[in-house]
Each structure stands twice: as structure tokens, then as C-alpha cells.
Amino acid sequence: MDFNDLTFKDNGGGQLQAKVEFANGNVLSVMAGAGMYCTPRENLNSPDEFSAFEIGIFGPDGDWATQNFFPNCGDDVMGWQSREEINSIIEMIG
């Protein structure tokens, strides 16, 4: 699996979101749109229109787990992640 396999949907607020649950129970959320840490920071119709995305990771219990994987990130989300960085994150989580 890689970024190209993600299916983005409107999350109801105009932002695009893709979520994937891995066999180990971890969930990756990838978002883009107004208010998200992405480029550009506006609501658009396709993930192809973005060059960077905001990600969050949830553990099998549903709690935030981003800092378990990236202890130095200092937040529950990480912004401005490229497709290549997201591919590495997918490999790490899964």
C-alpha cells in the first residue's frame, strides 16, 4: 500500500480525508483543506491539487498514537507531509 491507494472523501466540512486501518489496528488519517496543515490551505476537490498533507495516527484503542511513532513531533498531528513521507509512514505503521 502507498499514497496512491488512499481513497479521499469530503469529511463533511469541505476538507478531504483518507483513513486506512492496518491489520495491527493502527489507523492513519490523511487530511487536506482549509484549517489543515497542508499546502495549499484551502478546500479543493482532489488530493491531486495538494502538495502536502496533515496526518494523524490512532492506535488500536482509538487514542492518538502519532507521538508514539514520532516522539519529537510535539503534537497529535503532523503537518505538511509529502506523498513520499506519507509512503514511509504507511510502511512504518503497517
What is the per-residue pLDDT for 43? Answer: 97
Please give the model's pTM, rounded to 2 decimal places: 0.96
Q: Note down pLDDT in tens along the chain; length 94 residues.
A: 999 999 999 998 899 999 999 999 999 999 999 999 999 999 999 999 999 999 999 999 999 999 999 999 999 999 999 999 999 999 999 8
Residue type, 45: N
pLDDT of residue 10: 95
Contact 3, 87 (CB under 8 A): yes
Distance CA 29, CA 18 (A): 6
For the chain, the structural domain boundaries read 3-93
